[in-house]
Homo-oligomer: A and B are copies of this chain.
Amino acid sequence: MLTTAGKYAIRAVIYLAIHSSPQRKVGAKTIADDLEIPQAFLAQLLRTLTVDKVISSSKGPGGGFYLDEGDRKNTLWQAILSIDGEHRFQECFLGLSKCDDAHPCPVHHMVSPFKKEMLFNFQERTIAQLIDEVKENGTVVSLKMSPEKEVL
């Protein structure tokens, strides 16, 4: 569904939504350390996300990556598009090139509702809304991969 790169990207964007602002930029190293993502690899992804206007960045001392108000109106879908592309997410569960309601693969009817709903969620909810929901739900949001040393 998503590549490792895509998962990293989403986590990084959410991290920035929680931890950054135009006044509070965060370096790639800090994000990588906190999320336990390889630094150099994450840096590449952050660059791509920046080029695609999903996040913002500035160079030099005090610089780093951040989300401004405009960025917060983006959706996670835009992050997915930027890193993994549309096809990765949309493709048929069995990998068939032509699989839709009219020409369903054998598991299409089992999988399709799931994908439509998820796609809708990713495309319709802004980062800002997502963060609000996370806070309202009082859910413990760990962005780290290993369970031992949580940060959030």
- Which residues of A approach B to under 8 Å, CB–CB? 1-2, 4, 7-8, 10-11, 14, 76, 93-99, 102-111, 113-115, 117-118, 121-122, 130, 133-134, 137, 139-147
- Secondary structure dominating the interface of A: loop
Whether B94 lies near A11 (C-beta < 8 A) is yes
Chain B nearest CB, measured from A118 CB (Å): 6
Cα–Cα distance between A147 and B103 once the two chains are bound (Å): 10
Verify A140–B95 contact, CB threshold 8 A: no
B146 and A105 contacting across the interface, CB-CB below 8 Å: no
Q: How far is the CA of A94 from the CA of B142 in the complex (A)?
A: 11
Q: Are A95 and B145 in contact (CB under 8 A)?
A: yes
